[in-house]
Amino acid sequence: MYKLVSADRNKRQVGTLISIYEASKKQFIMPALEFASSVGNTLHHLLTGSYTNTTLFLLAFDTVARTLTLNSTVPGFGLHQFVTSNAAKDRIYATAMSEPPQLFSWSVDENYKFTYLDTVNITSSSCYISDDGNLAFSSGGSTAHIHALTEDGGLGEMVDELYMVPEEEIKNVNKTRAAVLYGAHAFDINVNRKGFVPHLGMNSIFMYDIAENGTATPLSINLSPSEGDGPRNSLSSKDGKLLYVMTEHNQWLDVYKVHDTQLEHIQRGSAIPDDVRGSYTFRSNTVQMSRDGKYLFTSTRSWNNTEVNGYVAAFALDKHGKLKKEKAVTFYEAPVTLGSSGGLRVLPWGDETTQDPKGISDYMYLSDTSEGWMFILGWTPSNHSLDVVASLHYPDNQTPYEATWLD
């Protein structure tokens, strides 16, 4: 049985967490940000990473013309499968699925000029990275990291490192991107400074208290409701009272109530249609919220087969942020399997094309590595429909993974 060990200077002991974990077996985010709505600009840019290429790609989505075009490329330093941006959209942070394990940052100006800032070394390859304006949070495999941000918004000193195995075993475990497949994935912080690290292999969600200076205090290890779920990604409600978790292996959207030191599972909905569950193998990716906070979207990719495609599911929320029904209001079936990606993020802003109460309210990208497509989906809540409004096929056998909206 793995233990959770925090690697701060005080060598915190967390044996009590293992007891909690064992007891839970017997029983059987980065916060959501609100952005101002912009109705003037109908041209929106997104920067995409790649699982197959070291180049970053700057795309432009025109909501009026319904076109998605490749504007330019940005030199990278590894297979930057995950990229994100700060709240001001002028700093870029990226992980890499290449060796050695590192994190990267750039600045970007209003003319989309990217300037490399810095690289920091980490113990094991991280899958995702997030920030709160002062700190950056990343995790992958057997470790999670908290870095201070520098005065220019780059990645600075490591404030804390958290181990998902005993510290003395770190030197022996796999630290490459392969470890992400059975280890930690994301590290998200809610508005109440509670941190959450989903861990596939331990089928659990690690919960922390994050101090203002970035040091992390372990609080609990929360077992997923059923064996083999594989929690991958999490998203906090805007008030921090709920945590939404996407399970990669079993395609469930789980809803947890966030208590002071632990999570309470309260709801579960399927991210794939009932008629394909159990008949094919899937891998789920992420969970995102609509701009108005009334819906959740999940993405799932088909895995190791070409007989069925990937899916996006939409779930309705009540005024408290809980699922109105433990059943999706609709499923969008992608035209391809989505390969190893199935990345999805909602455009944070509206424009003149999202003002009709009976029309599209949200746009989101959906990425594919099986054939190299980036799709833009439009969400129409009045009839609960998800449809492709634009798409781009990447040139020269290149493929997108995750992306971040810049404007």
Lowest mean pLDDT: which of 3-7, 309-313, 394-398?
Answer: 3-7
How many whole angstroms from its chain centre is CA 24?
A: 26
Burial of 240 (0-12, 13-18, 19+ CB in 10 A): middle
Does some domain include residue 250? no
Domain containing residue 94: 1-30+82-231
| Dihedral pair phi/psi, residue 171, rounded to 5° | -65, -20
Q: How many residues make up the chain in this entry?
A: 407
Instruction: Mark whether 57 and 157 lie in a shared domain.
Output: no
Of 37-46, 210-219, 299-308, the range with the lowest mean pLDDT is 37-46
Looking at the structure, tell me whether residues 304 and 317 fall in a common domain.
yes
Q: Residue 14: give its domain's CATH number.
A: 2.130.10.10
Number of domains in the chain: 2
Across 6-20, 72-86, 189-203, 248-262, least confident range: 6-20
pLDDT at 40: 58
pLDDT at 31: 34
- Give DSSP secondary structure letters for 310-323: -EEEEEEB-TTSSB
Report the pLDDT value the prediction gives residue 51, as an integer from 0 to 100: 82
Of all residues in the chain, the percent with pLDDT exceeding 70 is 90
Ranking 45-54, 228-237, 366-375 by mean pLDDT, the lowest is 45-54
Q: What is the pLDDT, as a whole number, of residue 52?
A: 86
Mark whether 294 and 156 lie in a shared domain: no
Whether residue 252 lies inside any domain: the answer is no
* Assigned domain for 40 exists: no
Residue 29 has pLDDT above 60, yes or no: no
Domain final position from 180, 209, 231: 231
Mean pLDDT in residue range 252-264: 99
**66 and 105, same domain (yes or no):** no
Span 194-222, average pLDDT: 97
Place of tokens 């709160």: 132
Please determine, for residue 2, whether its predicted confidence score (pLDDT) is greater than 80.
Answer: no
Distance in angstroms (rounded) separating the CA atoms of residues 107 and 289: 26
Task: Write down the pLDDT at residue 164.
Answer: 83
Do 175 and 311 sit in the same domain of this protein? no
Q: Domain for residue 243, yes or no?
A: no
Using CA atoms, how far apart are residues 262 and 243, in angstroms rounded to an integer?
A: 11
Are 307 and 329 found together in one domain? yes
Q: Is the pLDDT of residue 269 over 90?
A: yes
Among candidate residues 168, 87, 158, 88, the one with its CA nearest the CA of residue 126: 158
pTM above 0.85, yes or no: yes
* pLDDT tens-place string over residues 332-346: 999 999 999 999 999
Query: Is there a single domain that holds both residue 60 and residue 90?
Result: no
Pick 331 or 141 by higher pLDDT: 331
Q: Is the pLDDT of residue 46 over 50?
A: yes
Tokens, residue 51: 């699982």
The amino acid at 405:
W
Residue after which a domain boundary falls, among 181, 209, 231: 231
Q: What is the mean pLDDT of the chain?
A: 90
Between 139 and 15, the higher pLDDT residue: 139
Tell me which H or E stretch contains 244.
strand 242-247
Answer whether residue 253 is part of any domain. Answer: no
Residue 242: inside a domain: no
Same-domain check for residues 188 and 285: no
Beta strands in 248-380, from DSSP E residues, in sequence order: 252-258, 263-270, 282-289, 295-302, 311-316, 330-333, 344-346, 362-367, 373-380
344: its two tokens: 């999805």
Last residue of a domain, one of 231, 253, 282: 231
Residue 307 and residue 188 share a domain: no
Q: Indicate whether 371 belongs to any domain.
A: yes
Residue 240 lies in a domain: no
Does residue 8 carry a pLDDT above 60? Answer: no
Residues 196 and 298 in one domain: no
Determine the pLDDT at residue 304. Answer: 83
Could you tell me if 8 and 124 lie in one domain? yes
pLDDT, tens only, 109-138: 999 999 999 999 999 989 999 999 999 999
Asked if pLDDT for residue 378 goes beyond 70, the answer is yes
Contacts of 323 (CB under 8 A, 6+ apart): 253, 255, 267, 269, 296, 315, 316, 317
Same domain as 388, residue 285? yes
